[in-house]
């Protein structure tokens, strides 16, 4: 969420203002991953570790996201691609997952990012009229 980080931020990090998209890890295991072209990835802000760890995440709003960004030293945003060894707890934040390792491998994968945007997933219903006649 803020670009004052050096990358390598995970769920188990002190700074949880990020989310790690790791499609080749499913159910705690490495699975083959491939695509036949462009893939649309939707990551709700509620999945960002800083929000997911909040007991009130279901009542948080975009104003909470803006407030977090406004409090940041660096208010820009960026993607970070990393190919390094990690343990499952880095994704789950659960210390019990520290023993499950994923070892990096040399890769020739090319990653392209296009047209990222912030969109509303739900539209609240507003009315200027009371539901019960006065």
Q: CA–CA separation, 29 vs 25, rounded Å?
A: 5
User: What residue spans define the domains of the chain?
Assistant: 1-134
Tell me if 21 sits within 8 A of 13, measured CB to CB.
Answer: no
How far is 27 from 43, CA to CA, in rounded Å?
Answer: 18
Can you give the pTM of this predicted structure? 0.70
The answer to whether 3 touches 78, Cβ cutoff 8 Å, is yes
Per-residue pLDDT of the chain (134 residues; tens, 9 = 90+): 555 555 566 765 666 777 888 888 999 999 998 888 888 888 888 888 888 888 888 888 888 888 888 887 777 777 777 888 999 988 888 889 999 999 998 988 888 888 777 776 666 677 787 776 55
Rg, Å, the chain Cα set: 18
**What is the Cα–Cα distance from 72 to 67, expressed in whole angstroms?**
9
């Amino acid at each position: 969420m803020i670009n004052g980080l050096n990358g390598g931020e995970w769920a188990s990090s002190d700074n949880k203002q990020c989310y790690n998209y790791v499609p080749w890890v499913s159910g705690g295991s490495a699975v083959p991953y491939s695509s036949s072209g462009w893939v649309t990835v939707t990551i709700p802000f509620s999945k960002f570790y800083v929000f997911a760890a909040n007991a009130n995440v279901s009542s948080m709003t975009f104003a909470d996201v803006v407030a977090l960004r406004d409090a940041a030293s660096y208010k820009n945003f960026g993607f970070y691609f990393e190919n390094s060894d990690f343990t499952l707890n880095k994704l789950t934040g659960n210390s019990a997952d520290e023993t499950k390792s994923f070892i990096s491998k040399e890769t020739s994968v090319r990653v392209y990012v296009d047209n990222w945007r912030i969109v509303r997933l739900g539209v609240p219903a507003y009315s200027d009229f009371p539901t019960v006649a006065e």
